[in-house]
Structure 1
C-alpha cells in the first residue's frame, strides 16, 4: 500500500450514499505514515457522504499489473487544515504543476483515511 500510495497511482474511493448505495470516485492519493490522504472541495458529494457515514473503501490498481491490487477498508475524517497544501502537493505529484482548477473562493478539504483492513492481491 505504501509503495502504491507513494507512486502516481490513481485510487478509487468508495463512500456510502444516503440511500445506502455506493458512490465511487477516482482520485489522487498521498499518505502521512500509514494514513491515506485524499482531497475534495467543500460541498461535494464525497464530503456529504463521509460526514454522514465515515466508512470508506479504497482500491489501488497496480498500473504495471492490473491483476495486482490493494483494497483498503477504513474510516475517514474531514478537515480544512492543510487542504490547499494537499491539493497542490497532489497536483505536483500527478501533473507536475500546482492545482489551478478550483473556482474562486473554493475551500479544499483533506480526507484522511485510517485503515481498519488492508487486503493485498497479486
Structure 2
C-alpha cells in the first residue's frame, strides 16, 4: 500500500466543511409551463396522445387517450377504478406524449401534475367523443351507460420538451 502523498488532504479541512455545510437548500415552488401555439393547435385537433402514470411498484403505465385543453391545462377523461385513475390519486405526477400521426419525428412531452374531479365528467367525455368521432359518447359507445362514473383529469404542465 502506498502512503498518502505529503500535503494532500484525503478529506476536506474543517474550514471547507463549514463552508459547504452553510449552503442553503430550498425547494422552488412548482411553476407552470406554457404550451407553444403549435402545441395548442395540435391538441385542439383530434390527435391521440399517450399518458404515463406511475404504478404502485414504481413502473410506468401508459394509456392512449383522447384529449382537449383548457388554456394550457390538458384535460383527459377516464372512469373511477381504472388503473390510470388509481395511479393518479396515489401519485399525481404524469407525462403526456403528443405525437402527430403524420409527423412521427415531431413530438412534445408535457410533464405535469394531475388533479381529478367527477364534476363535469360526463360533459367532457361527450365533448371528446364529438371531437374524435363526430358522435355523442352514447352513440359511439352503446355500453356507455354501464361505465363507472367519469373523472376529469386536469393536467397542469410543469415542463414541456420536444419540438412541435
Q: Name the TM-score class by shorter chain.
A: over 0.9
Specify the structure having the higher radius of gyration (Cα): 2
Question: Residue in 2 aligned with 1:111?
Answer: 153
Moved more, 100-109 or 27-36: 100-109
- TM-score normalised by the chain length of structure 1: 0.95
2:54 corresponds, among 2, 16, 24, to 16
State the Cα distance separating 1:105 from its structure 2 match. 5.9
- Please list every run of at least 4 consecutive aligned residues from structure 1 whose deviation after the TM superposition is greater than 2 angstroms: 100-106
Deviation digits for residues 75-97 of structure 1 (CA, Å, limit 9, x no counterpart): 00100011000000000000000
- Counting helix residues as a fraction of each chain, which structure ranks higher? 2
Deviations 1:11-42 (A, max 9, x none): 00000000000000000000000000000001
Q: Residues of 1 paired with 2:147 and 2:109: CA distance?
A: 34
Find the aligned partners of 2:61 and 2:147 in 1 and give their Cα distance: 26
Q: What is the CA RMSD across the aligned residues, in angstroms?
A: 1.2
CA deviations on 1:71-118 (whole Å, 9 max, x unpaired) are: 000000100011000000000000000112324362000000000000
Shift in Å, 1:4: 1.3
In terms of fraction of residues, the more strand-rich structure is: 1
| Aligned with residue 114 of structure 2, among 76, 101, 106 | 76
TM-score normalised per structure 2: 0.72
Between 1 and 2, higher relative CO (CA 8 Å, sep ≥ 6) is seen in: 1
Shift of 1:3: 1.2
Q: Aligned residue pairs: how many?
A: 122
Identify unmatched segments of 5+ residues in structure 2. Answer: 1-38
